[in-house]
Amino acid sequence: MGLLDNLSGMPDWDDEFMSMYQDSEKEDWQPDATHEACKALYLQWRQVVLLLNGLLDSVTTTEDSFPMEILESQKEIVLVDAHEVAAKIRSSEAGGIYILRMENAAIIRKNAQFIKTSIAGMLAEEVIEEQHGELVRAEIDKFRELFKQWIATFKKDEFDDEWGLFV
């Protein structure tokens, strides 16, 4: 892979690797709607992270307008949350357990909302260019639509949530 092949910093989606987590009762020829929706979600998130990396690299400020140490801290938090989203998407396929998928979905939603809100704050503070911030926010909106399609494929299983949250 060349230097410019993976600017998002996220691993490629590996169908062969991820297929070992698919429902073992399905035949190989049968489509797995959750797996396909998860893949589309992950690929869209890679696009978000790619744009987010570029956006955060272009942040400009002066000590008079916005303290750089606060901005650097905010950038780090946003990127950590972005990479956690990717990890949660991938790990949601492990075993196909409904509670795990729902737990990951809740974290994914929280992180994506936080990132979008953080970008709005950076726009308000004028430390990022409006067109770049709006582009990332639009990609997060596309992600949200794929997210809704993904969670619609979840099937409740026989495992109980001991905490009673995902019943």
SS3 letters for 4-22?
HHHCCCCCCCCHHHHHCCC
- pTM: predicted TM-score of the whole model, two decimal places: 0.84
* pLDDT tens-digit series, residues 46-89: 999 999 999 998 887 766 677 888 888 999 999 999 999 999 99
**Can you name the CATH fold of 33-151?**
de novo design (two linked rop proteins) (1.20.1440)
Q: What percent of the chain has pLDDT over 90?
A: 60
Q: Domain boundaries in the chain?
A: 33-151
pLDDT band at 125 (very low <50, low <70, confident <90, very high): confident
